[in-house]
């Protein structure tokens, strides 16, 4: 603890940009390898082996894409008896995140324990929540595969890192949580994939989210009304169709009746005419008298 770089595991140190330039610290801790992670990371010394990662301290910065190569760099240095300094600008976020990913890979511990173990050695370690979530995802989805890869590719380090982790976690409890087991460690608390990513191009009205179930109920009610209206319209169409069909049947029946022939018509017309001319003349006379 204290100022300057801090030993986390045998052969592994975490520090800041100033520590990486401090010749006294580099010599005292016998640093042979430097893993530099910041926006303008570059090699500063010829007597030390470097790995430089260009990455910003931004929650949206994807550090997981560099985990494998950083883990290999640290692991090879430790196997060969070297000492690695992992640093960013402040030694708080990026360097701590990568160090925790390495510790997670070479031990049996999860992401929170590994972060808290680093905090046990460097109490002000505090990666942003975006990096913490990336460690959570790495722990849930990739660390098992990476552990197998490390075991099959490299010789085991001559250290008991699980035992070292227990010491670091004890230091975290004493010096960061002050011995209070109920004290919040302040790390990202949501479970893995607590929020599903929404497809791009789809926007959701905030008022709809606030209304919740009532908004859904309104949509369901509108859907039922539309269905009812559609059903009633269908019944109306059926009734009209039936009525038209019935009228067409009646017309067909009327058209199908036998029409009277000319002889019958003539006979009817003859039966309506007077039988003789005398009766006609009498009617004419009566009409003339009436008019006078």
Sequence spans of domains, the chain: 6-175
Bridge partners for 54 per DSSP: 38
Please calculate the CA angle 123-126-132 and round it to the nearest 5 degrees: 135
- pLDDT tens for the chain, 292 residues long, are 447 999 999 999 999 999 999 999 999 999 999 999 999 999 999 999 999 999 999 999 999 999 999 999 999 999 999 999 999 999 999 999 999 999 999 999 999 999 999 999 999 999 999 999 999 999 999 999 999 999 999 988 889 999 999 999 999 999 999 999 899 999 999 999 887 666 656 555 544 444 444 444 445 455 555 554 444 555 445 454 555 455 555 455 544 444 445 554 445 444 444 445 554 455 555 455 444 4
**Tokens 């859907």 belong to which residue?**
223
Residue 149 is predicted with a pLDDT of 97
> Which CATH code fits 6-175?
3.90.190.10
Residue 281 is predicted with a pLDDT of 52
**Pairing assessment for the beta strands 6-9 and 12-15 based on DSSP bridges:** antiparallel
| Residues 119, 277: Cα–Cα separation, whole Å | 139
> What's the predicted TM-score (pTM) here?
0.68
Residue 156 is predicted with a pLDDT of 83
Residue 208 is predicted with a pLDDT of 45
Residue 226 is predicted with a pLDDT of 52
Residue 194 is predicted with a pLDDT of 86
Active site residues: 88
Query: Residue 15: enclosing H or E segment and its boundaries?
Result: strand 12-15
What interhelical angle do 67-79 and 143-153 show, nearest 10? 40
């Amino acid at each position: 603890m204290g100022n300057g770089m801090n030993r986390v595991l045998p052969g592994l140190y975490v520090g800041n940009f100033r520590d990486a330039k401090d010749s006294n610290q580099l010599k005292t801790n016998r640093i042979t390898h430097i893993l530099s992670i910041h926006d303008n990371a570059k090699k500063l010394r010829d007597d030390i082996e470097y790995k430089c990662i260009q990455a910003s301290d931004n929650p949206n910065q994807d550090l997981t894409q560099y985990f494998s190569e950083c883990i290999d760099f640290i692991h090879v240095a430790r196997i060969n008896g070297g000492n690695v300094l992992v640093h960013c600008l402040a030694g708080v976020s990026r360097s701590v995140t990568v160090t925790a990913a390495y510790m997670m890979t070479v031990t049996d511990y999860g992401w929170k324990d590994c972060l808290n173990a680093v905090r046990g050695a460097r109490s002000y370690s505090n990666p942003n929540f975006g990096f913490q979530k990336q460690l959570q995802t790495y722990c849930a989805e990739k660390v098992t595969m990476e552990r197998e890869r490390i075991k099959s590719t490299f010789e085991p380090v001559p250290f008991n890192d699980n035992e070292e982790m227990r010491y670091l976690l004890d230091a975290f409890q004493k010096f960061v949580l002050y011995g209070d087991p109920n004290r919040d460690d302040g790390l990202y608390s949501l479970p893995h994939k607590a929020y599903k990513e929404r497809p791009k191009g789809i926007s959701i009205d905030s008022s709809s989210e606030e209304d919740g179930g009532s908004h859904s109920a309104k949509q369901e009610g509108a859907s039922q009304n539309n269905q009812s209206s559609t059903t009633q319209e269908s019944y109306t169409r059926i009734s009209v169709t039936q009525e038209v069909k019935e009228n067409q049947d009646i017309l067909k029946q009327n058209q199908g009746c036998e029409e009277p022939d000319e002889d019958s018509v003539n006979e009817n017309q003859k039966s309506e005419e007077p039988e003789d001319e005398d009766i006609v003349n009498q009617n004419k006379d009566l009409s003339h008298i009436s008019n006078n």
